[in-house]
Amino acid sequence: MSNNVNSTIMDNMRDNVHELWVIEGRPDLEDDCLQYCYDNIDRPVPITMIEFLSQHCSQALSTEDLNFMEKDNA
């Protein structure tokens, strides 16, 4: 019985993450995010997803960064 309950919880979490996922073309990142949510199962999925993406996006470039780089190369 417990395995069925755990399986249902995992299926629901996978469906939640997939429903909220908006980054197209990155199923690998979605899988990592899902694993992060599994690892933090005691927390709400949306909050856990935001935390995961925040950690992974810390090296992302902002529009301001790109504009500065463009001016620097001009």
Distance CA 48, CA 70 (A): 35
Write down the pLDDT at residue 17. Answer: 96
Can you say how many angstroms the Cα of residue 10 is from the centroid of all Cα atoms in its chain?
16
pTM of the predicted model, to two decimals? 0.77
| Strand blocks (E) in the chain | none
Number of domains in the chain: 1
Write down the pLDDT at residue 6. Answer: 86
Distance CA 41, CA 26 (A): 22
Write down the pLDDT at residue 65. Answer: 86
- Residue span of the structural domain in which 34 resides: 2-73
Q: What is the pLDDT along the chain (74 residues), one digit of tens a residue?
A: 578 888 998 999 999 999 999 999 989 999 999 999 999 999 999 999 999 999 988 777 788 888 989 888 77
